[in-house]
Structure 1
Amino acid sequence: MSTLLAETKIYKPSLEAVKEAAERIKKVVVKTPLAPSFTYSNRYSANIFLKREDLQQVRSYKIRGAYNKISSLPQEQLDRGVICASAGNHAQGVAFACNKLQAKGVIYMPGTTPRQKVEQTRMFGGEWVDVVLKGDTFDDAFKNAMKHREKYDLVFIHPFDDEKVIEGQATIGLEILEQASEPIDYVFAPLGGGGLLAGLSSIFKELSPNTKIIGVEPEGAPSMTSSLKQGKVVELDDIERFVDGAAVQKVGSRNFAICRENLDEMITIPEGKICQTILDLYNQDAIVVEPAGAMAISALDHFAEEIEGKNVVCIVSGSNNDITRTAEIKERALLYAGLKHYFVISFPQRAGALKEFVAKVLGPNDDITHFEYSKKHHRENGPAVVGIELNDPADFEPLVARMKAKNFYGEYLNDKPNLFQFLV
């Protein structure tokens, strides 16, 4: 075990420190509802409750840790100013705190951060905050922020690997236990850098030790899962950035040490499944969530039999979703469900070929949703990239069989990521 890990493992947020954090932040943090979900309770034959952290002033729980950290700083440090790096939600919490406490802040965000999150950060910070877009990932922004911190001697507000931040996030656990009328059997919570679960799990292990704590992270950024498997903090070389609120290459050392001891299980969820949950929440319950906010609910399918008849809490961590991402969210959900497929179709260079394809190859409920045809050659068959949406995943194999029987089949693109990335 490394010296750093040995040192950080000693730290655990004490109940007293978390209660102090709750007192410190109570004037700016909303005590969010622990709301029963009829939709998911009925679906899983369980008592499912949603902890609605998407209803915070900055639309995520991140305000808890950010405000607790910044408001606990000595005045001389506040006067020098603070700096942070964030993919969006921590940035808004820091911006809000800086504005409220009248402390100058510099916030580094990845250039890939959804515009909505960038604009909200600037709005919450007002004249007290400067936003700098740098790099493609949180880790890029983090490295640039650290250089800035060293140059100007600013106080760095870490988004997850900080004691005061962890204690601020842990106040969610206190609220849940105060609001619950019956013992809680399971808590599902999203995990990016690990600050939320480090704090939350510590409170439950002390006050409700029989509650099972399940950590959930995106399949494309399994930072904690990889670290737990190797028994040490590891940095991933490459991650999928779609779940921007939870896509980090490396979890915090403090968070890893706590989560390794406290989590009952750690699972990953495909991004497509997360997208389907986003759509379900909007269509069925009129709840708008960002990808990270949908992760905890997305994990319920994996525990359907285990949670039957149990009291279950899912942390809805945030709602900072950009409406311009809706088309991509729908596309990813359809792909995950096996309802959207892309092909290279070989059309004979003769009149009526497309008509024949529509009439004799497509099923009665199949729709063409993408068509890109090229005739810039002299071959007998002209290729076209065609996207087809099915009504049922079971219709896929018969569709391919008809393509081959009529000599239209060229190539299936869904399982070719190097080509497929240009379509989605």
Structure 2
Amino acid sequence: MDSDLLEYLRRILNSRVYDVAIETSLERAEKLSQRVKNPVWLKREDTQPVHSFKLRGAYNKMSRLSREELDRGVLCASAGNHAQGVALSAKRLGCRAVVVMPLTTPRLKSDAVRSLGADVRLAGDSYSDAYAYALELQREEGLIFVHPFDDPDVIAGQGTIGMEILRQAHHPIHAVFVAIGGGGLIAGVAAYIKAIRPEIKVIGVQMIDSDGMIRSVEAGAIIPLQDVGLFSDGTAVKQVGEETFRLTRNLVDGFVRVNTDAVCAAIKDAFEDTRSILEPAGALGIAGLKQYVQQTGIRDQHLVAVTCGANMNFDRLRFVAERAESGEEREVLLAVTIPEKPGSFRKLCESIGSRNITEFNYRMSDTDQAHVLVGLSIQDHHEIPILCSMLEDVGFRTIDLAENELAKEHLRHMVGGRSRVNGKERVYRFEFPERLGALSKFLVNMRPNWNISLFHYRNQGADYGRVLVGIQFQKDEEQSFQKAMSHLGYHFIDETQNPAYQMFLR
């Protein structure tokens, strides 16, 4: 063992973290293990008192400051989790803490820091912007700067996670998957694991739009990023640290880049196994693990993912739920062109067969063709070309939109608008039971001469699906329509006179 690794091993073994941190559990994720055909273990750092591993490094650094230094007060820049670690450590050690956070920081995190007694200042759109402002404050006020990752004592504090993993694991570990922002967590974990069990792989995981560490390792020098994605705000770092880069380059075995959909799917995976909701950065390890398994095809190997944070804003959950199905390749979004004539919708549903429809959006705009946005449940991505081919065979031109960000982010919410060919359209709001065959049952009750001119449905996970339907029929057929819908048994409301419909859809 070289002297550098020996020094970090000494630092980790002597770290003072347990005055404020807990030894978190290493839990088997049963459902995820079955899905990826490998035993998966989660190192539950999301269960720390501040719901993040950052407490370890912050306290280890601050506990080594002299009383004189503590009396001057401490300062840090953070996207949120390090800030809470510093604030709680300052409260425990009896000193002032000034915390600079990006303007983009979720309010949940900034409020948590304030509640611990810290003086919060907001500046910039990323950690790097907040860091630059913090350095100005340091010069002005003479505070002691506590770096979130590029400090040997902070790195050593995070390294205690690696120490716990090896102590808790009762089976040979193939690989440990660790999220990377600035690199403090992976540097510490890798330092301990490679000192004690060098045969265990340490794999770093970054967002594809915040991959500064991977780019730097590939280039052999630190590469600053011009911009970083903000979905995973906890890892939105434009420039990694010099010390973390050095350790990561020398000790980490490999890297995985993941996208937003994969992280949303990983958040769902963690919830299904633990009933806890991870923040995006906290789920990176799981997302990387799943991608690594898919890329390598390994089986029956014990894999560990560090779930490093759970400070999630509640209002983000809608987006996460929306994108998780795509991320775990259980939903495909298709653009299907069908003839604009009665019976086409029914034929499309019959072609889809028993597959669960998760989304159905359409607005009549042409007398010849109809363009329908359809979401379908699938088992994996291998079904997509088969499904497209099947629809093409029955005469429906089909385009796969699974990787189309415009469609996933915006188009699915915008299908609609006014129509110049909607004729004697009436609009009804239905409640469909969320079960297979509900849409087909509705279409079977439609007469051939009744034309659907608008259809909007998205599975929201409730017992009943909310569906908006535009239907064209002659005025003397209204009684027949009402009778048919009553026979259907679905609750519905006539919204034709609704001012929102009159203004935006009529």
Q: If the length of structure 1 is used for normalisation, what is the TM-score?
A: 0.82
Q: Secondary structure at 2:279's aligned position in 1? A: coil
Say yes or no: does 1:46 pair with 2:38: yes
Look up the match of 2:185: 196
CA deviations 1:118-176 (Å, max 9, x no partner) are: 222222x22xx111222221122112222222221211111111111101101111222
C-alpha separation between the residues in 1 aligned to 2:238 and 2:160?
26
Deviation of 1:37 after TM superposition, in Å, equals 2.7
Instruction: Give the percent of matched residue pairs that are identical in Structure 1 and Structure 2.
Output: 34
Q: Which residue of 2 aligns with 1:15?
A: 9
Q: How far apart in 2 are the matches of 1:211 and 1:243?
A: 27
Q: Say if 1:13 and 1:166, in contact at 8 Å, map to a contact too.
A: no
CA displacement at 1:299 relative to structure 2: 2.3
Out of 158, 182, 206, which is 2:147 matched to? 158
1:389 equivalenced with 2:383 (yes/no) = no
Cα distance, 1:319 vs. partner? 1.4
Aligned to 1:277: 266
Q: State the distance in 2 between where 1:46 and 1:334 align.
A: 21
Decide which of 287, 291, 304 is 2:276's aligned counterpart: 287
How many Å apart are 1:335 and its aligned residue?
3.5
Counterpart residue identity of residue 254, structure 1: E
Partner of 2:160: 171
Identify which of 300, 315, 319 aligns with 2:306. Answer: 315
**Structure 2 unmatched runs, 5+:** 414-506
Matched, 1:329 2:326: no
Give the drift of 1:268. Answer: 0.9
**1:401 CA displacement:** 4.8
Give matches, 1:72-111, under 5 Å: 72-111=64-103
Q: How many Å separate the matches in 2 of 1:167 and 1:134?
A: 28
Secondary structure of 2:14's partner? helix
Q: Which residue of the partner structure matches residue 499 of structure 2? A: none
Contact 2:32 2:273 in 1 (8 A): no
| Aligned residue runs from structure 1 range 325-404, under 5 A | 325-336=316-327, 337=329, 339=331, 341=333, 358-361=345-348, 363=352, 365-368=356-359, 388-392=374-378, 394=384, 397=388, 401=392
Residue of structure 1 in register with 2:60 after alignment = 68
CA distance in 2, matches of 1:257, 1:62: 20
Which residue matches 1:31? 23
Cα distance in 1 for partners of 2:336, 2:292 equals 38
Higher relative contact order (CA 8 A, sep 6+): 1
Counterpart in the other structure of 2:218:
229
CA positional deviation for 1:80? 1.4
Distance in 1 (alpha carbons) for counterparts of 2:193 and 2:178 = 13
Q: Is the 8 A contact 1:36 1:47 kept in 2?
A: yes
Shift of 1:41: 3.3
> Out of 265, 273, 287, which is 1:298 matched to?
287
Specify the alignment match of 1:131 in structure 2. Answer: 120
Aligned residue pair count: 398
* Amino acid paired to 2:229: E
Compute the displacement of 1:397 (Å): 2.6
Question: Cα offset for 1:314?
Answer: 1.7
Structure 1: gaps (5+ residues)? 1-8
Q: What secondary structure, in the 3-state scheme, does the structure 2 residue paired with 1:245 have?
A: helix
Residue 298 (structure 1) shift: 1.8
Write out per-residue CA displacement over residues 34-74 of structure 1, whole angstroms, 9 at most, x where no aligned residue.
Answer: 22332233334433322111111011110000111112111
Partner of 1:246: 235
CA distance 1:322–1:347, change in 2 (3 Å): farther
Q: Indicate how the Cα distance of structure 1 residues 197 and 381 shifts in structure 2: closer, same or farther if over 3 A, else same.
A: same
Distance 1:413 1:196, change over 3 A: same
Q: For residues 137 and 361 of structure 2, what CA distance do their matches in structure 1 show?
A: 46
Query: Does structure 2 conserve the Cα–Cα contact (< 8 Å) formed by 1:29 and 1:63?
Result: yes
Match of 2:134 among 145, 170, 177: 145
Q: Residues 231 and 169 from structure 1, CA distance in 2 versus in 1: closer, same or farther, beyond 3 angstroms? A: same
CA deviations on 1:302-348 (whole Å, 9 max, x unpaired) are 34366533333221111112221111112222343372538699998
Aligned mates of 1:326, 1:401 — CA distance in 2: 36
Deviations 1:80-138 (A, max 9, x none): 11111111111111111111112111111112222222222222x22xx1112222211
Distance in 2 of aligned mates of 1:414 and 1:92:
38
Which deviates more, 271-280 or 359-368?
Answer: 359-368
**Amino acid corresponding to residue 279 of structure 2 in structure 1:** E
Note the C-alpha offset of 1:288.
2.1
Mapped to 2, the partners of 1:347 and 1:99 lie a distance apart of 68
Shift of 1:184: 2.8
After superposition, the C-alpha distances for 1:255-298 in whole angstroms (9 at most, x for unaligned) are 11001110111111122111111112213432321112222122
* Residues 54, 61 of structure 1: 8 Å contact kept: yes
Instruction: Give the structure 2 partner of residue 4 of structure 1.
Output: none
Distance 1:35 1:284, change over 3 A: closer
> After superposition, what is the alpha-carbon deviation per residue over 1:380-420, rounded to whole angstroms, capped at 9, x for unaligned?
89999x754222363863698599858xx9x9877665786
C-alpha spacing 1:369/1:324, structure 2 compared with 1 (3 Å): farther
Cα distance 1:178–1:370, how it changes in 2: closer, same or farther (>3 A)?
Answer: same
Q: Which amino acid aligns with 1:389?
A: G
Task: Sort the Cα spacing of 1:416 and 1:283 in 2 relative to 1 into closer, same or farther, 3 A.
Answer: closer
Secondary structure, aligned partner of 1:49: strand
Query: Cα RMSD (Å) of the superposition?
Result: 3.2
Q: Which residue is equivalent to 1:120? A: 112
> Letter of the aligned partner of 1:310 in structure 2?
Q
Q: Distance in 2 between matches of 1:47 and 1:419?
A: 36
> How many angstroms does 1:360 deviate by?
4.8
Over 3 Å counting, the alpha-carbon distance change for 1:71 and 1:44 in structure 2 is same
SS in 2 for 1:390: strand
Please tell me whether the aligned partners of residues 283 and 307 of structure 2 are also in contact (alpha carbons under 8 angstroms): yes
SS of the aligned residue for 1:289 comes to: coil
Note if contact 1:361-1:399 (Cα within 8 Å) is conserved in structure 2. Answer: no
